[in-house]
């Protein structure tokens, strides 16, 4: 049980003294000190009081070692995004930080995808991934980059790097938006998503390339969800030619062909 270390961590993050918290919870400072030092166990009433004060579910306070969470995850908890309150399991994300204790963006290349399916929750595996940072992304959110394979999301080129924001509460998946989904059987896929969790406990995945049919994934097979935010590529997209410009281009080509035909007839006396 991690109750004692959790309430001490949360108190310090809120910059509250033991006297401050004890007064707010209508208990003696010595009682709170006993809880934080692990020499006494809280009653159910005390657990509920701490849960209300920190706005974090009782299950989280006692079952999850908050010291193992990243700054991004702790910030989400403190902002009220505690998925235990929503009736699911807390998704503890293996992550890395730089020397300034800021979240890295880990890069999952095409070659690393196979290992990621098995090692996504292994901190040692995640530490081996190359990392980078983008200064225009939020410091309070967690991002990861995945290399795109195949042509199912054309016109986004194969080999592009898709950057996703970690989604803690899957009920917040927005139908019609693009997500990177880690599943048991499919591995890492990048798709447009229809959120069918509330009624059917599944996601329906769509490709941008219409030759690929949509398919369903039971939510029990999903391991991670990342909301698409950016992509990076070395390839230039195909040029966009407006209809008027296209007509002018075709007319010019026709003129050139006619001129070529005329010169050919003149040269060979046809």
Residue 204 has pLDDT above 90, yes or no: yes
Q: Are 72 and 141 in contact (CB under 8 A)?
A: yes
User: What does the alpha-carbon distance between residue 36 and residue 8 come to, in Å, rounded to a whole number?
Assistant: 6
Q: Are 4 and 38 in contact (CB under 8 A)?
A: yes
Residue 238: predicted pLDDT: 65
Whole-number Cα distances in Å, 56 to 76, 170, 256: 11, 18, 73
Q: Which among 148, 181, 180 has a CA at the least distance from the CA of 164?
A: 180
Q: Which among 55, 48, 120, 57 has a CA at the least distance from the CA of 88?
A: 57
pLDDT tens digit sequence for 233-245: 987 766 655 666 5
C-beta neighbour count of 247 within 10 angstroms? 11
Strand bridging mode 178-183 / 222-232: antiparallel
Residue 37: predicted pLDDT: 93
Q: Are 116 and 219 in contact (CB under 8 A)?
A: no
Higher pLDDT, residue 65 or 229: 229
What is the pLDDT averaged over residues 191-215?
93
Least trusted range by pLDDT, from 82-86, 161-165, 240-244, 261-265: 82-86
First to last CA, the chain: 96
Residue 122: predicted pLDDT: 83
- Kind plus residue range of the DSSP H or E element containing 222: strand 222-232
Residue 80: predicted pLDDT: 64
Residue 214 has pLDDT above 80, yes or no: yes
Residue 88: predicted pLDDT: 44
What are φ and ψ of residue 54, in 5° steps?
-90, -5
Tell me the pLDDT band of 12, cut-offs 50, 70 and 90.
very high
Question: Over the chain, what is the mean pLDDT?
Answer: 85
Tell me the pLDDT band of 90, cut-offs 50, 70 and 90.
very low
Enter the tokens of residue 186: 């499919």
pLDDT tens digit sequence for 28-70: 999 999 999 999 999 989 999 998 899 888 888 988 888 887 7
User: What does the alpha-carbon distance between residue 167 and residue 10 come to, in Å, rounded to a whole number?
Assistant: 22
Q: What's the CATH code, domain 105-232?
A: 2.10.109.10
Q: Which among 254, 251, 226 has a CA at the least distance from the CA of 146?
A: 226
Residue 83: predicted pLDDT: 53
180 pairs with which residues across the strands?
A: 190, 226
Higher pLDDT, residue 94 or 3: 3
Residue 250's contacts (CB-CB under 8 Å, 6 or more residues apart) are none
Tell me the pLDDT band of 87, cut-offs 50, 70 and 90.
very low
What is the pLDDT averaged over residues 125-137?
93
Residue 142's contacts (CB-CB under 8 Å, 6 or more residues apart) are 70, 72, 73, 93, 95, 103, 165, 166
Q: What is the pTM of this model?
A: 0.60
CATH number for the 3-67 domain, one of 1.20.58.340, 1.10.510.10, 2.60.40.1120, 1.10.260.40? 1.10.260.40
């Amino acid at each position: 049980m991690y109750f004692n270390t959790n309430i001490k961590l949360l108190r310090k993050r809120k910059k509250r003294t033991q006297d401050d918290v004890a007064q707010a919870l209508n208990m003696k400072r010595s009682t709170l000190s006993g809880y934080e030092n692990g020499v006494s166990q809280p009653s159910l009433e005390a657990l509920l009081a701490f849960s209300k004060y920190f706005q974090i579910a009782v299950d989280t306070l006692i079952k999850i070692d908050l010291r193992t969470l990243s700054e991004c995850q702790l910030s989400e908890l403190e902002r009220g995004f505690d998925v235990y309150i929503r009736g699911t399991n807390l998704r503890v994300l293996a992550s890395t930080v730089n020397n300034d204790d800021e979240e890295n963006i880990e890069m999952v290349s095409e070659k690393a995808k196979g290992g990621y399916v098995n090692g996504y929750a292994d901190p040692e595996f995640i530490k081996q991934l190359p990392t980078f940072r983008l200064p225009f992304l939020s410091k309070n959110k967690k991002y990861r980059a995945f290399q795109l394979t195949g042509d199912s999301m054309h016109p986004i080129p194969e080999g592009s790097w898709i950057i996703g924001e970690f989604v803690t509460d899957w009920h917040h998946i927005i139908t019609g938006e693009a997500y990177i989904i880690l599943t048991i059987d499919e591995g890492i896929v990048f798709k447009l998503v229809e959120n069918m969790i509330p009624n059917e406990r599944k996601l329906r995945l769509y490709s941008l390339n219409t030759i690929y049919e949509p398919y369903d994934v039971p939510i029990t097979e999903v391991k991670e969800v990342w909301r698409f935010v950016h992509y990076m590529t070395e390839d230039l997209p195909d040029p966009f030619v407006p209809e008027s410009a296209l007509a002018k281009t075709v007319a010019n080509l026709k003129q050139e062909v006619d001129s070529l035909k005329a010169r050919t007839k003149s040269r060979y006396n046809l």
